[in-house]
Amino acid sequence: MTGPGNPPTMVNGFDNARLDQLPEEQRAAVARRNRVLGPVYRLFYADPVEIVRGAGTYLYDSTGNEYLDAYNNVPCVGHAHPRSADSVARQAATVNTNTRYLQPSVVDYAEDLLSTFPTPLSNIVFTCSGSEANDLALRVVRHVTGNSGIIVTANAYHGVTSAVAAISPSLGADSPLDICVRTIPAPDERAGPGALGDYLRAQIRSATADLARHGVGLAAFIADSVFSSDGVFSRPAGFLPPVIDEVHRAGGLYIADEVQSGFGRIGAGWWGFQRHGIAPDIVTIGKPMGNGLPIAAAVFDPDLLVDFGRKIRYFNTFGGNTVSVAAAQAVLDVIRDEELIENAARVGAQLKAGVEALTSGLDGVAQVRGDGLFIGVELVTGDRPDPDTAAGVVNELRRRRVLISASGPHGNVLKIRPPMAFRSADADRFLTEFEAALTPLR
């Protein structure tokens, strides 16, 4: 999992200390990459995967080997979807410019996307990435509340700008949190007695009190609606109302980060927060909205933007550019026309039931969690996290040309998060290979 060249925060990373163990051609390709991209970029898997093209739920290397993609959520309607690709090509051949001109397609898309949100979430600001969307959300909540305190979960990840990295504990100890950030535990129903929502309310109250002791008021609580980096926690549905109530009681706002859980991935409505019955103040979404093109957004209760818009000059040069909007519109259309939310519910249930059946009775599996096409499998040895076995399963699946990764603060939760075009036959293939990859646990 870790070693020279791979910090502990890189889950399922290639260890550059193993470079000499790779076949000659692959070794040369990795060395060349390292020379020009440097140490910031890292590769997945003990044996890195070369990718030259994709189609639907499959990726291919230069020799034609086919890999079942059970991990990549950004190409949410599938790799190289023809409707998305065609829309991009047509728009790129026509015009691509910014939102300071009247362009009907931008407004048409904004109205269409906003129709998937509950009222009063009815203003949208386009960005190029989920990191930028979360960065903007932080600016707005601090402006509106006059406070600077932010509460996140213990291993949260919200992006890579300086401000957002400072609220992302999953980046590790060498990426320090802002002094006005407090963490609460992941929403694990095993954490304590009583209802999970009441437990989390108490955690929010404690974190808010600690901020107040240091003279800091609460600006916001921000949460990925499926708590992916914490290890995938989606159940029981309905544990978030006490959290949002407590955040509002303390004078803060609730930001729902839907970069990973949004666009119907959970199989119950368009957005992950909906299954918990809450109405966030702000929602942030990321590059799945354009099937991987650089488009993202923050969606607001318009009251939050009145004073901010009057006093703060905000412009994202190519956030909401015409080509990316064309891609985003194609994504919405494909999700509806191909019934991908229903597919996520149906195939996700098949996938989760299969994983539960294959892991039933295995001492090394603590829990199978998740909903829709977002599943986590927690691996343990006794009562301790087992990241080594998780890495072994991930890499055995890679050898079988099935791609997943791992998550959680210890890297011991298998993360199964395929494109939403994942069909029943894909689930069958995954389960066949997953059964074989579990051999060390039997």
300 burial class (0-12, 13-18, 19+ CB within 10 angstroms)? Answer: buried
Q: What is the band of 192 on the pLDDT scale with cuts at 50, 70, 90?
A: confident
């009583």: which residue's tokens?
A: 194
Q: Residues 371, 230: one domain?
A: no
Q: Helices 340-359 & 322-337, crossing angle to 10 degrees?
A: 70
Q: Residues 331, 353: one domain?
A: no
Determine the pLDDT at residue 12.
86
Determine the pLDDT at residue 285.
98
Indicate the number of domains in the chain. Answer: 2
Which ranges of 93-154 does DSSP label H, i.e. alpha helix? 104-114, 130-145
| Collapsed DSSP state (helix, strand, coil) of residue 320 | coil
Distance CA 212, CA 109 (A): 42
Would residue 357 count as lying in a domain? yes
Determine the pLDDT at residue 1.
37
Would residue 9 count as lying in a domain? no
Residue ending a domain, among 310, 337, 364, is 337
Q: Residues 242, 145: one domain?
A: yes
Determine the pLDDT at residue 8.
42
Residue ending a domain, among 337, 371, 401, is 337
Residue 109 per-residue DSSP state: H
Q: Residues 434, 286: one domain?
A: no
Q: Using an 8 Å Cβ cutoff, are 134 and 159 in contact?
A: yes
| Token code pair at residue 285 | 């979404």
């927690």: which residue's tokens?
A: 378
Q: Residues 354, 401: one domain?
A: yes
Pairing of strands 253-257, 374-381: unpaired
Determine the pLDDT at residue 441.
82
DSSP 328-394: HHHHHHHHHHTTHHHHHHHHHHHHHHHHHHHHTT-TTEEEEEEETTEEEEEEEETTEE-HHHHHHHH
Residue ending a domain, among 303, 337, 371, is 337
39, 147, 243, 376 from 184: Cα distances, Å: 31, 19, 11, 20
Would residue 34 count as lying in a domain? no
Q: 252: domain CATH number?
A: 3.40.640.10
Cα pseudo-dihedral 32, 38, 42, 46, rounded to 10:
50
Determine the pLDDT at residue 4.
36
Q: Residues 231, 195: one domain?
A: yes
Residue 313 per-residue DSSP state: -
Q: Residues 331, 344: one domain?
A: no
Q: 53: domain CATH number?
A: 3.90.1150.10
- Please determine, for residue 7, whether its predicted confidence score (pLDDT) is greater than 60: no
Q: What is the band of 283 on the pLDDT scale with cuts at 50, 70, 90?
A: very high
Q: Residues 241, 138: one domain?
A: yes
Would residue 173 count as lying in a domain? yes
Q: Residues 353, 365: one domain?
A: yes
Q: Mean pLDDT over residues 413-425, rounded?
A: 98
Would residue 22 count as lying in a domain? no
Q: Residues 392, 297: one domain?
A: no
Distance CA 186, CA 177 (A): 17
Which domain, by its residues, includes 245? 82-337
Q: Using an 8 Å Cβ cutoff, are 205 and 184 in contact?
A: no
Q: Residues 265, 189: one domain?
A: yes
Q: What is the band of 442 on the pLDDT scale with cuts at 50, 70, 90?
A: confident
Q: Residues 109, 224: one domain?
A: yes
Run of H or E including 238: none
pLDDT digits (tens, 9 = 90+) for 220-240: 999 999 999 999 999 999 999
- Please determine, for residue 398, whether its predicted confidence score (pLDDT) is greater than 80: yes
Would residue 263 count as lying in a domain? yes
Determine the pLDDT at residue 194.
85
pLDDT digits (tens, 9 = 90+) for 317-337: 999 999 999 999 999 999 999
Q: Using an 8 Å Cβ cutoff, are 423 and 347 in contact?
A: yes
Would residue 36 count as lying in a domain? no
Spatial CB neighbours of 132, under 8 Å, sequence gap ≥ 6: 159, 161, 296, 316, 319
Q: What is the band of 113 on the pLDDT scale with cuts at 50, 70, 90?
A: very high
Would residue 17 count as lying in a domain? no
